[in-house]
Amino acid sequence: MSDILESLFGSKEKMRLIRFFLLNPEQEYRFDEITKRNMLNFQKTKKELDTLKRIHFIMKRVRKGKIFYTLNQNFQFYPELKNLISKANIYPQSENLSKVKNIGNIRLAVISGAFINYPKSKADMILVGDGISRAKLRNLMNNLEAEIGKEIDFVLMTGDEFKYRLNMLDKFILDFLEGPHEEVINKIQGLRQFIANRK
């Protein structure tokens, strides 16, 4: 649905900005934070922020000589836009999720939470693997956060740690895998059957 919204709202930049402010309604951000977190072009972001400010979707505040932008929660279409954004399941359109296999020997990558619009999940992603490149992981998360519009709450475990926690019937792991989730990568033999047998 992300590509539909981009077409509806006119551009990737505008879509990311609208999603970003709607998902972080209480926060104030400097211009450089907005461009960095959403991985957007400086000029295009300025243009779109000016447009959103002109229609009173966002407000501009000056504190201690610095300019901050924040969502105007009194914007006339705020409830409708928030509802529309919350319905936008980011998972099918998330280009960067396919790159998870490049960060190391990934045996399991499962997503929930912000990716599939399931706010009850205690995490957005569980990654299980060995030989993980911290730099590639950080880069992947930055890209995913820019796509989604919010910080990703993820858990990273080695294969041995995951096996141990699963054998101990770790509540967090079981809650995640028994709740709504999607598999990006699953190379752990018998995991699906193990979870299915518990239901």
- Rounded mean pLDDT of the chain? 88
Domain ranges of the chain: 2-87, 91-198
Closest-CA residue to 156 (of 174, 181, 133): 133
Neighbours of 64 (CB within 10 A): 5
pLDDT class of 1 with cuts at 50, 70, 90: very low
Per-residue pLDDT of 99-146, as tens digits, reads 999 999 999 999 998 888 888 999 999 999 999 999 999 999 998 988
Within the chain, strands assigned E span 28-29, 58-63, 66-71, 105-111, 125-130, 154-157, 182-186
Q: What pLDDT does 114 receive? A: 84
The model scores a pTM over 0.75 = no
Report the SS3 class of residue 83: helix
Q: What angle do CA 68, 71, 75 make, to 5 degrees?
A: 140
Please provide the CATH number assigned to the domain covering 2-87.
1.10.10.10
**What confidence tens digit (pLDDT) does each residue in 140-163 have?**
999 898 888 888 999 999 999 999
Dump pLDDT digits (tens) for 68-95. Answer: 999 999 998 888 888 877 666 565 556 7
